[in-house]
């Protein structure tokens, strides 16, 4: 099952989105649902960034509402990810997770490493850019010339081997806190990446980026 989560960031709308079986609008992310012409199944959040009249309009269309207090230990996006996993999501796409506030953007990227959805494909989408996490092995699908950056988080990524990237690695190390893996590029329609130990945030920019 594919779940689409619309958060309240300032991302650009993606060119296309695969069909979703479950659509969750996170607070003001309901505006993204309108932009993407996707009616949510669930509205979730403390609704500090969603006008009451908009909330009521979605409720009139039988959209379920999960309201949380403003003072809580988890962000609305984290709650939405937990809900999607609980509903049986096997793949999750998040739009509107980036831009605006740096603290929330950084936290949203690092949410990819949460153990609750370890091994589950979770992708943040912002226009032509996608962000995902690789632990163990993964595949990046695109076109030759696409920009792909590999960034170690939580420590050095060791035993990194890549196939299909211009700057290839074989059992190499991408150091934590270094820009070593930034601005690589696809040489074919996909790249295979394996990591023996550690985590890699993968940023994929579709099309040539200057």
Domain boundary among 79, 110, 127: 127
76 plus 108 within the same structural domain: yes
Q: Say what the pLDDT of residue 162 is.
A: 98
72-89: per-residue pLDDT in tens?
888 999 999 999 999 999
Total number of domains constituting the chain: 2
Q: Say what the pLDDT of residue 209 is.
A: 54
Q: Say what the pLDDT of residue 165 is.
A: 97
Mean pLDDT along residues 183-204 = 96
CB 156 within 8 A of CB 200: no
Q: Where are the alpha helices (DSSP H) in 70-180?
A: 76-86, 102-110
Q: Say what the pLDDT of residue 17 is.
A: 74
Domain boundary among 79, 102, 127: 127
Whether residue 37 is contained in a domain is answered as yes
| Banded pLDDT at 108 (limits 50, 70, 90) | very high
Q: Say what the pLDDT of residue 208 is.
A: 66
| Banded pLDDT at 210 (limits 50, 70, 90) | very low
Task: Show the tokens assigned to 58.
Answer: 């979605």
Domain residue limits at 57: 2-127
Task: Show the tokens assigned to 163.
Answer: 């196939």
157 plus 119 within the same structural domain: no
33 plus 67 within the same structural domain: yes
Q: Which of 16-30, 141-155, 160-174 has the lowest mean pLDDT?
A: 16-30
114 plus 25 within the same structural domain: yes
Q: Whose CA is closest to 17, among 120, 163, 176, 127?
A: 127
């Amino acid at each position: 099952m594919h779940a689409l989560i619309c958060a309240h960031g300032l991302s650009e709308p993606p060119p296309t989105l695969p069909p979703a079986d479950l659509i969750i609008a996170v607070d003001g992310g309901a505006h993204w649902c309108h932009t993407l012409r996707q009616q949510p199944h669930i509205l979730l959040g403390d609704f500090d960034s969603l006008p009451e009249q908009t909330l009521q309009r979605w409720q009139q269309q039988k959209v379920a509402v999960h309201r949380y207090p403003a003072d809580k230990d988890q962000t609305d996006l984290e709650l939405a990810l937990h809900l999607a996993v609980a509903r049986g999501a096997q793949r999750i796409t998040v739009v509107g997770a980036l831009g605006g506030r740096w603290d929330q953007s950084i936290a949203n990227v690092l949410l990819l490493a949460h153990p609750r959805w370890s091994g589950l494909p979770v992708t943040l989408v912002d226009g032509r850019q996608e962000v995902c996490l690789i632990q163990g092995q993964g595949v990046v699908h695109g076109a030759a010339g696409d920009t792909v950056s590999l960034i170690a988080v939580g420590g050095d990524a060791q035993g990194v081997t890549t196939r299909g990237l211009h700057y290839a690695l074989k059992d190499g190390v991408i150091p934590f806190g270094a820009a070593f893996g930034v601005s690589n590029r696809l040489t074919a329609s996909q790249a295979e990446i394996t990591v023996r130990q550690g985590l890699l945030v993968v940023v994929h920019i579709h099309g040539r980026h200057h």
